[in-house]
Structure 1
Amino acid sequence: MPPAPASRHRTGRRTHGLLAAAEGLATAAALTAALPADAHDGGGHGHRPGRYQDVQLLSFNDLHGNLESPSGSSGRITELQPDGTTRTVDAGGAEYLATHLRQARAGHPYSVTAAGGDMVGASPLLSGLFHDEPTIEALGKLKLDVTTVGNHEFDEGARELARLQNGGCHPTDGCYTGKRFKGAGFPYLAANVQDEKTGKPILKPYWVWKKKDVRIGFIGVTLEGTPDIVSADGVKGVAFKDEVETINKYAKVLQRQGVRSIVALIHEGGFPASGAYNYDCDSPGAGAGISGPIVDIAKNVTPAVDALVTGHTHAAYVCTVPDPAGRPRMVTSAASFGRLYTDTTLTYDRRTGDIARTAVRSANHVVTRDVPKAADMTDLISRWNALAAPIGNRPIGYISADIDNTGDESPMGDLIADAQLAHGKELDPRTSLALMNPGGVRSGLTYRAKGAEGDGVVTYAEGFTVQPFANTVNLQDFTGAQLVQVLKEQVSGANAAAPKILQPSAGLTYTLDLTRSGADRVVTDSVRLDGHPVDPAATYRVATNSFLAGGGDGFPTLAQGTNDLVGEDDLAALGTYLTAHSSATSPLAPPAADRITVVQ
């Protein structure tokens, strides 16, 4: 079963050689073919440019405001070794990403940097507390040239996205540094996001990179299903159109303008068969090792598009998926959180103005932490940390070991569900259980101290990283039959292809049988609450976050609850639980994550 996309969840916001061969280049297959003798760029040394010009395309995706090096599993990448084993490598951090990108650009006068969306949103406190202005500033220092919007760019709605693009101080919180926020110095593209009143894109649909006589067009789209995974307020007044139809439409527009080299930036992705960043997903054939929505998109986007930079699923891959004409075309994704970047060579044919597709080659590279930190990025992080410290450094609990956010059922997910159940019981003692959507759990908690707080101390900033959304804890009544139906919706309907396993509070148990198909994978007779079978006719009081309570993430039955009661902020509920259940002398142990019995 493929993992649920890490970024598919409701969002709302809370204000408050160094590139060594050991990186195991994911050479998903350079599409090499002999070029004519004049293939070299010929530029420089006073010579006329040759017919072919190599253009370096650097790309990354799903940064999510991770300026500081991510901790725990969020800051590691899996690498496939020559002997078939795997190892994990510490990776990520804007200070290191900046150094790697700058080193990669050395010796490449024709270089453009693009991103696949979700640069902001679901961000750690350092960025999220300031409405992601620190990340926009950092992206400028990273020399990002262009990005598409992702679903998280709509966390605070289209108006706030426009502010991030165009500048201006926040309408509620004002200016944080005493200066007017300048906005992004690069274009956000939103070709398939239309104003419902005008029918026009809310931001630029495409952008053309130019270097002397070389021109490459970029078209940016996000997944059509964004309204299903973002709060209603976040997408109010805008409509999301089909990705393929939109890209094909604007490819024709670019061609009419004489631009024949085109790259699509698509915030939608796939699931490679291996979690290793350097896995060959072209084995045994082109694109054979990848599944998911991006495959159908890649197979149907017009052959006029020469490469696809993707994202959203937080996966790493460099594949060649045949276009509608049967020609191989590069499709890439660089995991998430700045742990990887992709280096793609596009060979531009000056005679045709197009990319010589047979000469495209690409590889993912690890953003290792064994390179010098970029001083300007260190300064940026220090400046914003000074503003965040009074809030972020406050202790909210203590843990005895890492609480991981991995697996279908994670210890971190269970902990959040337990916290929401406890908060629900405070609001209404009849509350029976809580359910937490996995995509809303953004990170685990690490035992090792990040700063001066000491090992095992959980700070507000760390809690914010886990739950950066302004969801409330809501209570609703459901029948037992509805409760079982909710569990079945984890693996059916909108979630059939990419199941979303809700994280259960203590006392709720059941069997997930992956040898079955569809809704039957949740074994009805196995569903128990405090050891007793769920009564289809009985009424159960259920705590969820406000996104799930509205039917988000493909759970329509959760929108049918009755007797609604709105509680407090979900992060506050987590902090209250940690404070009540842990101390310096009696830290909280990780939940066992044994509430769901998985049959493979």
Structure 2
Amino acid sequence: MTQDLGRRTFLTATGAVATMAAIGTPAYATEDARDAATADEYVDVQLLNITDLHGYLHGSSVITGAGAARYTVGGVGYLAAHLNRLRDGRRNSIFFGPGDMFSGWEFDAESVADESTVEALNRMDFRFSSAGNHEFDKSPAFLTAHMECGIPFPEIGWDDEFADSTGRRFRGAKFRYYSANVVWSATGRTVVPPYNIEWVDAGYGRRIPIGFIHLTAFGTETFPASFQPALKTLDEVETVNRYAALLKARGVNAIILSMHDGAVAGSDFNSGSSPSGPAYDLARQVSPDVDAIVTGHWHCRFNMMVPNPNGVPRPFVEAGCNGQLINEINLRLDRRTGKVIRELTVSTNHAVPQHPRLRELREVRPQPEGADPGPAEPRHGQERRLRRPRRRGPAHPVRRAPDRQQPHLRRLPNSLLTRRRPPTAGARVRRGRRARAPAWSSAHRTSRAYGATVSRSISGA
């Protein structure tokens, strides 16, 4: 079957198209999408997303691509540099995420109430996010009052409202959170708005709306970390279909689903094979009015096209976790109707690799000539006793190459070391020892993970 689209004729696909296997290789809705860059009669829209950052501002991990190739990725400095490269020259670019941007894992960020994570996202021009399960770890009020609006929760300088990397107090996110299926049990009202509408420049003084519907993982209110008995989650498919119809009634003809629920689809981050999971089941059932489905929650990596109930392919993607990947979806919109030209849709998962030589520099501290290299590795059955060095100033600087990361984000992780709590009144100070922080403060935290108790101290010298 053929369909006439303006000056071109394209073949309408009836199923998912296999993706090519290589870093940065796109998934095409049809073969005609390979020529989408020349379709100037349509409005070009770039959607960029990351998922499950969890406050990993300076971490790194290894992921697998095509042909079992391995890539060391991660770190917001590298992430921001790659974002700038992808955005360059694009008039309509929207950067967002399907949830779990903060909380859940990284101890350093959580010790300062994840405010440093929000600071990093603000600097990267992050537009909005779905609410993931970990956004409800503390309480709904912490998300809506403190993280979004900057209201102290509850005591400045002790529980939150720490000084950021510029020395100013936390003022909240410049972006908003959304979820259509998390509601208050008593009233049935959503905790945060269910959807948002973004407007893109169509030229000649015209703008086109794009609607984003948001979902949180079903059962979030019963998860151990985000247990919130005052909340409940609604059925995902019914919720999406209801809001898709509402957006269509409002004249929004381009609709994206951003959902914090996931799937698994093979090990190659830029293709998909044998997909399964709740997000995949939803992708095959949800309204044909949804033009693309962006997922998270499962920390998986895939990029593929999945046919909607009418057999028309649409992107179905997940960009891993911890800033490993940036997913890019390129849409072409009809200038007159605002509808997505599905045959020209292209999706790509971009790895965020660290330069190998710069990574080595980042991991090595300079040693004076003739310096003791340190104790040998402990023998089997022995433990090496690690002592915290006494510091009279900032932490030992780590050598970094400034031209490979965004300068305004490069020093952000180190700012965590300067966010200190004030000394406790009456605390005893001995020669050569630190003042003890009260056991209940977050200067000394005990966290339980996978049955093991880990005690970590972040107090300053």
Common topology (TM > 0.5): yes
Aligned mates of 1:296, 1:174 — CA distance in 2: 40
- In structure 2, the partner of 1:301 is 286
Aligned mates of 2:34, 2:28 — CA distance in 1: 17
Q: Is the partner of 2:232 in helix, strand or coil?
A: strand
What amino acid sits opposite 2:312 in the alignment? R
- In structure 2, the partner of 1:376 is 408
Residue 292 in structure 1 maps to residue 277 in structure 2: yes
Structure 2 counterpart of 1:277, from 242, 255, 269: 269
The CA deviation at 1:145 is 1.1
- In structure 2, the partner of 1:175 is 161
Q: Report if aligned partners of 1:123, 1:132 keep a CA contact under 8 Å in 2.
A: no
Q: Report if aligned partners of 1:114, 1:146 keep a CA contact under 8 Å in 2.
A: yes
Q: 1:239 to 1:313 in 2, by over 3 A?
A: same
Q: Equivalent residues in 2 for 1:310-389 (5 A)?
A: 310-370=295-355, 372-387=404-419
Aligned mates of 1:169, 1:243 — CA distance in 2: 33
The CA deviation at 1:236 is 3.1
Aligned mates of 1:189, 1:106 — CA distance in 2: 28
What amino acid sits opposite 1:276 in the alignment? D
- In structure 1, the partner of 2:58 is 68
Q: Report if aligned partners of 2:211, 2:247 keep a CA contact under 8 Å in 1.
A: yes
The CA deviation at 1:196 is 1.8
Structure 1 counterpart of 2:190, from 195, 201, 216: 201
Q: Report if aligned partners of 1:310, 1:331 keep a CA contact under 8 Å in 2.
A: yes
Q: Equivalent residues in 2 for 1:113-192 (5 A)?
A: 113-162=95-144, 163-172=146-155, 173-177=159-163, 179-192=168-181
Q: 1:190 to 1:30 in 2, by over 3 A?
A: same
What amino acid sits opposite 1:183 in the alignment? G
Q: Report if aligned partners of 1:39, 1:53 keep a CA contact under 8 Å in 2.
A: no
- In structure 1, the partner of 2:87 is 105
Aligned mates of 1:105, 1:314 — CA distance in 2: 24
- In structure 1, the partner of 2:213 is 219
Q: 1:342 to 1:161 in 2, by over 3 A?
A: same
- In structure 2, the partner of 1:571 is 454
Q: Report if aligned partners of 2:221, 2:229 keep a CA contact under 8 Å in 1.
A: no
Structure 1 window deviating more from structure 2 (199-208 vs 32-41): it is 32-41
- In structure 2, the partner of 1:33 is 32
Could you report, residue by residue, the CA deviation over 1:302-340 in whole angstroms, capped at 9, with x for unpaired residues?
A: 011100110111111111111111211111111110011
Q: 1:37 to 1:377 in 2, by over 3 A?
A: closer
Could you report, residue by residue, the CA deviation over 1:338-389 in whole angstroms, capped at 9, with x for unpaired residues?
A: 0111111011112221111111101111101127111111232222232269
Could you report, residue by residue, the CA deviation over 1:177-231 in whole angstroms, capped at 9, with x for unpaired residues?
A: 2755321111211111101222111111111111231221111111112234234
Aligned mates of 2:161, 2:53 — CA distance in 1: 24
Q: 1:310 to 1:174 in 2, by over 3 A?
A: closer
The CA deviation at 1:100 is 0.3
TM-score normalised by the chain length of structure 2: 0.72
- In structure 2, the partner of 1:57 is 47
Aligned mates of 2:36, 2:26 — CA distance in 1: 25
- For structure 1, the 5+ residue unaligned runs are 1-20, 42-49, 282-287, 391-463, 473-502, 504-543, 546-569, 576-600
Q: Equivalent residues in 2 for 1:177-576 (5 A)?
A: 177=163, 179-212=168-201, 213-231=207-225, 234-273=227-266, 275-278=267-270, 280-281=271-272, 289-370=274-355, 372-387=404-419, 470-471=447-448, 544=451, 570-572=453-455
Q: 1:134 to 1:334 in 2, by over 3 A?
A: same
What amino acid sits opposite 1:24 in the alignment? I
Q: Report if aligned partners of 1:28, 1:362 keep a CA contact under 8 Å in 2.
A: yes
The CA deviation at 1:126 is 2.6
* Higher RCO by CA contacts (8 Å cutoff, separation 6 or greater): 2
Higher helix share: 1
The CA deviation at 1:136 is 0.8
Aligned mates of 2:298, 2:35 — CA distance in 1: 39
Aligned mates of 2:225, 2:353 — CA distance in 1: 35
Name the Cα RMSD after superposition.
Answer: 2.9
TM-score normalised by the chain length of structure 1: 0.56
Q: 1:174 to 1:119 in 2, by over 3 A?
A: closer
The CA deviation at 1:59 is 0.8
Q: Is the partner of 1:210 in helix, strand or coil?
A: strand
Aligned mates of 2:308, 2:338 — CA distance in 1: 19
What amino acid sits opposite 1:382 in the alignment? N
Q: Is the partner of 2:32 in helix, strand or coil?
A: coil
Q: Report if aligned partners of 1:347, 1:359 keep a CA contact under 8 Å in 2.
A: yes
Aligned mates of 1:87, 1:293 — CA distance in 2: 28
- For structure 2, the 5+ residue unaligned runs are 1-19, 202-206, 356-402, 423-441
